[in-house]
Amino acid sequence: MTELDVIGNSPLDESVISDLATLICDNEDPINDYVICLKIVESKEMQRYNRIYRGVNQTTDILSFENRDVPIEDIIEGIEGYTKKRRNLRQCDIIIDINQLSRQKGEKTLEKEFRVVLIHGLLHLVGYDHIRNQDASEMKTKEDQYINKVID
C-alpha cells in the first residue's frame, strides 16, 4: 500500500504521481507500506531546506527523506489496504523545486522532467543511493528501467 499527499502545484495530475509512487514502492520494497508527502516548492524555499538538512546553501531539484518506520501492529487494522504481510509503515517526504526543474529540463517538457526527478527521489526512499560508484550504477539502471516504462 502506498499513499501519497501532494502539496503545491504539480505539472502532473496527482493520480499519475500516485501511480508512479505505487509502482516503484511496491516493486522495489513489497514488504513495507509507504505514506509519502510530496511538497512542490520554489527555489528560495528549497535552498532553505537544502541548507537545513544537507548543509548546502543552494537549491537542488529534489530532496527525499525517509522519516521513520512505524511497526504495522501500531496501525489500526481498519486502514484500507491493510495487510499483515508487510512489516512497517514508512513515512516519507519528498520536496521538489519546480523552478530548478524548469531550469534543468533542457528540451524535455516540464512534465517529463518532473517524472524523471520523482523516479530518482522515490528510488532513494526504497533504499537506492548514489554515493559509491557501484551503488550509483545500480541506481542509474533502475532509474532508466522506470523512465523507459513510464515515459514516452
- State residue 21's pLDDT score: 97
At residue 88, φ and ψ (nearest 5 deg) are -130, 160
- State residue 66's pLDDT score: 84
Rounded CA separation 144/52 (Å):
30
Buried b (16+ CB within 10 A) or exposed e, 62-84: bbbbeeeeeebeeeeeeeeeeee
- State residue 151's pLDDT score: 82
Terminal CA-CA length for the chain: 26
- State residue 130's pLDDT score: 84
Q: Is 22 exposed, middle or buried (0-12, 13-18, 19+ CB in 10 A)?
A: middle
- State residue 82's pLDDT score: 55
Give the DSSP H or E segment for 114.
helix 110-125
- State residue 86's pLDDT score: 52
The model carries a pTM of 0.86
Topology classification of domain 2-150: Collagenase (Catalytic Domain) (3.40.390)
Sign of CA dihedral 119, 53, 1, 30: positive
- Reading the chain (152 residues) residue by residue, the pLDDT tens digits are 789 999 999 999 999 999 999 999 999 999 888 999 999 999 999 999 999 999 999 999 999 998 765 555 555 455 565 555 556 788 899 999 999 999 999 999 999 999 999 999 999 999 998 888 888 889 999 999 999 999 86
